[in-house]
Structure 1
Amino acid sequence: MVDWNSPQTLLSNSLTLVKLLHVVDGIYIWEYFTTLWFEWEVLTKRRPWRRTMLIYFATRLTALAGVCTELVGFNLTTRFNCQGWLLAVLITVYPAFALNSLLILLRTIAIWERKLIISVALTAVWLTNVAFLIHGITLADSVWLPLQNACFVVNSQKSKLNVLVSTITDLVLLLAMIIGVLRLESDSSIWRMLYRHGIVWIVLATIGLVPPTIFLFLNLNEPMNLMFQTPALVIMTICATRLYRSLATFGRRTTVFDSFLSSAPLASVQALPRSVRFQRNSSGGTQSLSTNSGPTGTSASLEVEFPTSYGRYRAEDLELVNDRLKAINEEGEDFHK
């Protein structure tokens, strides 16, 4: 049986921890700089500003500050203030945990159409998580080990309740988001995207948040208690910000589609599928809708399928679900009824 507290095991686990954190932190730094195009579009005003973008920026920056501070501490070989370093890590990492949960919270509340009881309940859950994270900062304790020329975090097992509450909070928010998406009962592409993202979120939250909670309760040794906490931060932050970007980008791509729906007086079903052809003049003129291809131009076919259980749709009926889904991207604005 392995003696988890023997000097050899502690040294081996510590080296594994440092190597793993270098890999995970490197992945997040790569993710941050390869997705700066979104911030650039906002700063250059090519993308409209929304208040939730402030939370998005803060999430990414605090996580970046946390992983960079962590790397600095693990690469210094001369004596330094270990307690100050650990506090600096937690002061940046814990807000990142809270902010990526806040991104999920705002999205979930929007999906539930800001129903009061849902909004109050989920906000209370999130605030409870914030309170436990703040409490966790006060429990930080680290010492310098002269023989290893490195800092060593001690008493990390005391933070197990904070990690457990964070895990439960994110899982509750994600389940609420999935249920809210299922309530919309739509076949639109944005609905399918939200549903897929919700499923992926549940899986990744389990992969990222459950292992650190389990190891903290097992309390094998200090390195094993810390082994999966940074990977959980990186996984949750990457997924939360990618979800935000994908929905914001999707909202821009659907503008023309929305305009077409709002201008269509009726949509009827004659046969399944039904083809609509675009007539394009070879001289570079404007495109026009046509059911026949002329001899002077080329045509492209777009097949539109409707369920067989319905005969006709009013334009406002077709717009209703799309408007509700679009409102998910408009947390700071009223819903279109």
Structure 2
Amino acid sequence: MGEKWGIQVGVVGALFLSVASSVSIVICNKALMSNLGFPFATTLTSWHLMVTYCTLHIAQRLNFFETKTVEMKTVILFGILNGISIGLLNLSLGFNSIGFYQMTKLAIIPFTVLLETLFLNKNFSRKIKFSLFVLLVGVGIASITDLQLNFVGTVLSGLAIVTTCVGQILTNTIQKRLNVSSTQLLYQSAPFQAAVLFVFGPMVDKFLTKQSVFAFKYSPVVLGFIVLSCLIAVSVNFSTFLVIGKTSPVTYQVLGHLKTCLVLGFGYTLLHDPFTERNIIGITIAVFGMGLYSYFCTNETKKKIPIGDLSTASQIKDQEILPLSSVKNMGIQDNENHEKIKAAKDSLV
């Protein structure tokens, strides 16, 4: 019973760390981009990953965790395609309106459910699907404004959805099937993710903002916020892998929309962003949907797993995660990056 309680505390801690760090970095990056005029989100993400890797390298040297060998081909593909996924998401925002970009983010949950159903033989009950529907409706009401379609933007959004969904599923699969922790997987994949974004990030940012990151005048205040953003990003990146490893890609996406609601709320209270009745209604519906999702998931877990039968719990969880034989390794990145780009676009475009 004590071990089971420890597992539950670990999951709650991972969720709390993810929410707290994500909201913090969005507020920090919004100040950096909106108030200080630093719009280079993709390049900033590459710095986040570099600092994350350096921090984990120091932690590994101090024996805070042990490295575990994973097939190098898998790690390289995972890291490189992760960077590509982030670039596609940023380009998607550049070619689409804010409203259509929010629709792209909402589409990640149903597409993840579809992929897990088709390739992982995972079943989602009607109650779970209904709670996800309520959640998506609420977030849509709170965050979607205009919808403007164009061919290039639609294609980029489709590719971004596919790479993000598959990457998050593979993050969960790799950790479970290869028995590696979130820290070990992040430590091995972060340098490859950072390398891709470090090379292509300035080009993507220049295309989207018409400015060069190398020509920007870095004041002490800007440098201070960049350092703070990178430090918070260590927690964001770690918690992302931790949450997906301990829960599921769908749960992580649900958590991501909770962050969206919290960001809207904090933006209103701390940054004095516009806030309407529509935002309040949407957030209320979304929170209700998240509550339903948590309630139904908890009930279904109790029905499947006898109390105290930890071995059965482990077997069931492993059976739900089968290798994707027909899908390549792709990477992940938290939705915070999209929120900070959104903040930049709101203020600079």
Q: Scaled by the length of structure 2, what TM-score is found?
A: 0.28
Highest CA radius of gyration, 1 or 2? Answer: 1
Q: Which has the bigger relative contact order, CA under 8 A and spacing at least 6?
A: 2
Higher share of residues assigned helix: 2
Higher share of residues assigned strand: 1
